[in-house]
Amino acid sequence: MGKDDLSSVKVECPQGKGALIAEVLTYKSGFKRSKHEPLSGVKVKFYGPTKNPDQNTGGNGRTTVLNGLDPDSYTVSLEFTPDMTELYDVSGSTISTAKTVKKGKTTPYPFEVPWFWIEYQVQYDGLKIFVPGIDYVLRHKKPDPVDSPWTQKKTGTTGLSKETEEKVPRGRYKLDLKLVYEPEWGDPQVEIDKAIEIKAAVSGFDVGTDGSIQIVDAHTLAPALHTIAVKVAESADKSRRELKTTWTPTKEQLKDLKSAKIAFRAAVGASFVFSEPEPVFIKEKYEVVDGDGTKLSTRIELYFSGGYSDSKQADGGEAEVLTPWNETVARVNLPEYNGNPVGLDEGGIATRHFRMPA
């Protein structure tokens, strides 16, 4: 036998007496053939006709040899500290055993207790390719009590291999990637002076963490036209965390918008996401009169330079039209009247006048 094998331990016993020795080893749970390591600091209790005091395992995982024992059955039991029961599978291991100590023999009492471990990785959906460079939070939930909170155990950044944590506390684990995703506008278009909801889902960040929502020109994305400070919060149904705000856009906030569409950039820390572009409209008042200046009640059709068109009913010579931002009226039709379509030179004037030809 090898010199480190417990069965090779021999001592000189008094005439007619025996001896015993206990050893506690640990290994990676689920890998019985993995390299075993000695487990020190475990209290070992001895029961039998010859009384002996409790011992703690030493650096080699063993107790000292108990010599001078009357030959008979002896029980050896292990007692673990609370900290050890969190890291090692004590409840699933044999921690007490009885053997017969024989005259002139040293009886070994070996124990094996596996440790808990976890392994995690981040891959592209459906592909066996690692996704590097994503910050994450590893969280742990104690098994008792059942309503124990999730606590942060580790932070890190994903790499090109699996991550392994050895000798971890028992319980549940989850990996939260630090991401901002699923940006969402509350309406299909943005209207000046009308409130709109903006939100994005968040993972890996605690409630109350500072974030921001930046309104940007969808054509250039930078610099920000307007910035809103927000904090990570629980969604209304408690199913996820999110950045959420209600924004009422003004002409002043969007004065530097060059295109007709905006997007928003939702960010927490180094994580961010851009929304889909959203068209911006401003409500303008139009007046419709005939050649004598009489206000008309009729339908008007407007065609804008960017391809957008709208049809409105003018009542009492007035109609409110949502006009695309930074677009001009290219053509106006009054389909209920005879005559040629009316052309319009906007000139930056909010109220339009249409005079029908005589």
Query: DSSP string covering 123-174, please?
Result: B-TTS--B--S-EEEEEEE-SSSTTPPPEEEEEEE--SS-EEEESPPSSEEE
Has residue 317 been placed in a domain?
yes
261 forms bridges with which residues in the sheet? 279
* Residue % of the chain over a pLDDT of 70: 90
Of 226, 222, 213, whose CA–CA distance to 254 is shortest?
226
Per-residue confidence (pLDDT) for residue 39, from 0 to 100: 98
Q: Say what the pLDDT of residue 332 is.
A: 85
Per residue in 40-70, pLDDT (tens digit) is 999 999 999 999 999 999 999 999 999 999 9
Q: Are residues 126 and 193 in the same domain?
A: no
User: How far apart are the C-alpha atoms of 192 and 215, rounded to whole Å?
Assistant: 13
Measured from the Cβ of residue 113, the count of other Cβ atoms closer than 10 Å reads 22
Mean pLDDT over all residues of the chain? Answer: 90
Residues 241, 316, single domain; the answer is no
Residue 354 has pLDDT above 80, yes or no: no
Could you tell me if 297 and 223 lie in one domain? no
The reply to whether 1 falls in a domain is no
Count of C-beta atoms within a 10 Å radius of residue 203: 19
3-state secondary structure of 25: strand
CATH number of the domain enclosing 55:
2.60.40.10
**pLDDT tens per residue, range 322-333:** 899 988 888 888
Domain final position from 238, 257, 276: 276
Partnered with residue 66 across adjacent β-strands are 20
Residues 214 and 258 grouped into a single domain: yes
- 208-236: per-residue pLDDT in tens? 999 999 999 999 999 999 999 999 999 99
User: Which residue did the predictor score with more confidence, 296 or 344?
Assistant: 296
Q: Which helix (H) or strand (E) holds 215?
A: strand 210-217
Burial class (CB in 10 A: 0-12, 13-18, 19+), 140: buried
Q: What pLDDT was estimated at residue 290?
A: 77
Residue 341 resides in a domain: yes
107 and 15 within one domain:
yes
265-283: buried (b, 16+ CB within 10 Å) or exposed (e) per residue?
bbbbeebbbbbebbbbbbe
**Considering its fold, how many domains does the chain have in total?**
4
Q: Is residue 3 scored above 90 in pLDDT?
A: no
Chain position carrying tokens 């009489």:
294
The residues facing 113 across adjacent strands are: 26
Q: Is 13 inside any structural domain?
A: yes
Do 254 and 226 share a structural domain? yes
Question: Contact, 28 vs 110, CB < 8 A?
Answer: no
Per the rule left: phi > 0, alpha: psi between -120 and 50, beta: everything else, 91 is: alpha
Instruction: Looking at the structure, tell me whether residues 90 and 12 fall in a common domain.
Output: yes
Q: Give the CATH number of the domain where residue 200 resides.
A: 2.60.40.1930
- Is there a single domain that holds both residue 76 and residue 125? no
Shared domain for 34 and 89, answered yes or no, is yes
pTM equals 0.74
Q: How many residues are there in the chain?
A: 358
CATH code assigned at 325: 2.60.40
pLDDT band of 1, cuts 50, 70, 90: very low
Distance, CA of 77 to CA of 95 (rounded, Å)? 6
Confidence class of residue 343 from pLDDT cuts 50, 70 and 90?
Answer: very low
Could you give the maximum distance between any two Cα atoms of the chain, in Å? 136
Are residues 183 and 264 located together in one domain of the fold? yes
User: Within this chain, do residues 11 and 98 fall inside the same structural domain, yes or no?
Assistant: yes
Report the Cα 265 to chain-centroid distance in Å.
18
Q: Is the pLDDT of residue 124 over 50?
A: yes
Contact 186, 197 (CB under 8 A): yes
- For residue 30, being part of any structural domain is answered with yes
Residue 24, amino acid:
V
Per-residue pLDDT tens digits for 256-300: 999 999 999 999 999 999 999 999 999 988 888 877 778 888 888
Three-state secondary structure call for residue 304: strand
Range of the structural domain that residue 311 is part of: 281-355
- Among 151, 177, 203, the domain boundary falls at 177
Least confident window among 201-205, 248-252, 308-312: 308-312
106-115 vs 18-28, strand pairing mode = parallel
Domain-embedded: residue 210 = yes
Q: Are residues 171 and 195 in the same domain?
A: no
Show which of 276, 307, 335 is a domain's final residue: 276
Q: How far apart are the first and last CA of the chain?
A: 118
Give yes or no for a contact between 270 and 136, defined as CB atoms under 8 angstroms apart: no
